[in-house]
Structure 1
Amino acid sequence: LELYKGVEPNGAVVKYAIGYMNFQVIIHRDRFPDEAAQMVRNESIKRIDQAYDVIAQAEAEIPKTVWMNLPQEDTAEYDKMLRKVRLSLLDDGVFDERAIKLMKAIRCRVDATRAECAS
């Protein structure tokens, strides 16, 4: 991402996850056996730790002096704003309940101290 261009000389990388990447696989059902979809899901789950390792490695390559933590009150405001966005997307039919639960699980895995992770 060429982050160095944004952090030199006085920038920073904010330690706050704004978005999460996902992927979807669309197949022609008539060309694959019925169990293919479950096989893809199972394989994805088996590799989730590998994906987190890739992320950890990429983050480790960013110099510690460049990271910036947001003040807690700013983080709380961002959390509220993004919650509203998620609920709006749920209401609009863009997300379904399973997507909301999955994204919460990811947020809580990344930061178990979040208020939403207590429930």
Structure 2
Amino acid sequence: MTARGRRRPGALDSDAVGVPGPQRTCVGCRVKASQATLLRVVAVDSLLVADPRRRLPGRGASVHPDPTCVDLADQRRAFPRALRLTGPLDATPVRQHLAQPPARAHPSDESRSTAP
């Protein structure tokens, strides 16, 4: 806004339609994507732990929820770099998390899907 309260031409609204949410880069494939589509992982001791709710404390790294991206990041040693740690990190817990079937959003979802 200018001093007179009018907007400058081309000024962006924070609630403008079409403005994407936060963007992150996958540490595996290095492709930028919406934060909502990436899985946050954090280091707990020397293990990488999946943080799907984004609530665990500490520095996190983002990776596509795809075993290929986890493997690429592991091969490139990208997890320790992104998390600013030294030494290897075990990505087995993240791989196990990705191997699990996705959780249902709500217990009543099953009853809705089986209704005639």
Same fold (TM over 0.5): no
- Structure having the higher strand fraction is 2
Which structure: larger Rg?
2
TM-score scaled to structure 1, two decimals?
0.29
More helix by share: 1
The normalised TM-score by structure 2 is: 0.29
